[in-house]
Amino acid sequence: MLCLMSKEVVDVDTELVERAKSRDEIAFLTLIQTVQNDLYRTAFAFLQNEHDALEAVQEVTVRVYQQLPKLRQPAYAKTWMIRIMINYCHDQLKRKRQVLPLFNAVERGQTRAAEFPFFELIQTLPKDRQRLLYYRYYIQASIEEIAAIETIPVGTVKSRIHKSLELLRNKLTNQGGDRDVFERQLDYTSSARTRQD
């Protein structure tokens, strides 16, 4: 595996992961509880259905349990689990032969447009760029976590996010929009997600 981390970033308690790898059931349940919300949000973003997202969390929990002893880097267990979820969601979408935009759902009881006011602009980006912005601004993943999830270098993540945001800023300006509003919306999205967690 590529060395993707420029500095040591631990996304979960490594001691807990090691105990879970050794089939300590309480440790495994605790580990799942620490990432459950991120797994659900990821599943919902892709599947856009509460029932399917909950089912995905259950299925991925089983897969994580089965594959956990093979995990080589316990410090990145959360990132590894999110990658399993993304793969599961991709498989489900292929089976259903659906191509769904990542950011076009309205969550039950919560309008996501209030959280991501620049939906339409984001949907103009290629799917891989949409995913990077989703990780960064929706689930608040660090650059290092995104690099691990996407299996690309940290510098590539930074560059793609920067270029994607600059492209969105330019599109907004060309449409007569205000770049300052865009920046405030980015700040709002980041702070809104932080407040929810």
Q: Do 162 and 191 fall within a single domain? A: yes
**pLDDT tens by residue, 17-52:** 999 999 999 999 999 999 999 999 889 888 888 999
Residue-number span of the structural domain to which 136 is assigned? 115-196
**CATH number of domain containing 139:** 1.10.10.10
Q: Do 44 and 16 fall within a single domain? A: yes
Q: Which is more confident, 51 or 192? A: 51
Q: Do 94 and 134 fall within a single domain? A: no
Q: Do 42 and 87 fall within a single domain? A: yes
Q: Do 63 and 39 fall within a single domain? A: yes
**Helix residue ranges, H only, the chain:** 14-21, 25-47, 50-67, 77-96, 112-115, 119-122, 127-137, 143-150, 154-174, 179-196
Query: Token match 């270098």: residue?
Result: 153
Boundary (domain end) residue, out of 44, 71, 100: 100
Q: Which of 112, 110, 108, 107 is nearest to 122 (CA)?
A: 112
pLDDT band at 185 (very low <50, low <70, confident <90, very high): low
C-alpha dist (Å) from residue 129 to 88, 104, 180, 188:
19, 15, 22, 20
Residue 60 resides in a domain: yes
**C-alpha gyration radius of the chain:** 17
Q: Is pTM, for the whole model, over 0.75?
A: no
Task: Please count the structural domains in the chain.
Answer: 2
Q: Do 89 and 127 fall within a single domain? A: no
Neighbours of 98 (CB within 10 A): 10
Boundary (domain end) residue, out of 44, 74, 100: 100
**Secondary structure element (H or E) that encloses residue 151, with its range:** none
**pLDDT tens by residue, 114-151:** 444 466 677 788 888 888 888 887 777 889 888 888 88
**pLDDT tens by residue, 67-122:** 999 998 888 898 899 989 988 988 888 777 544 444 444 333 344 444 444 666 77
pLDDT for res 123: 75
The number of CA neighbours under 13 Å toward the Cβ of 48 is: 14
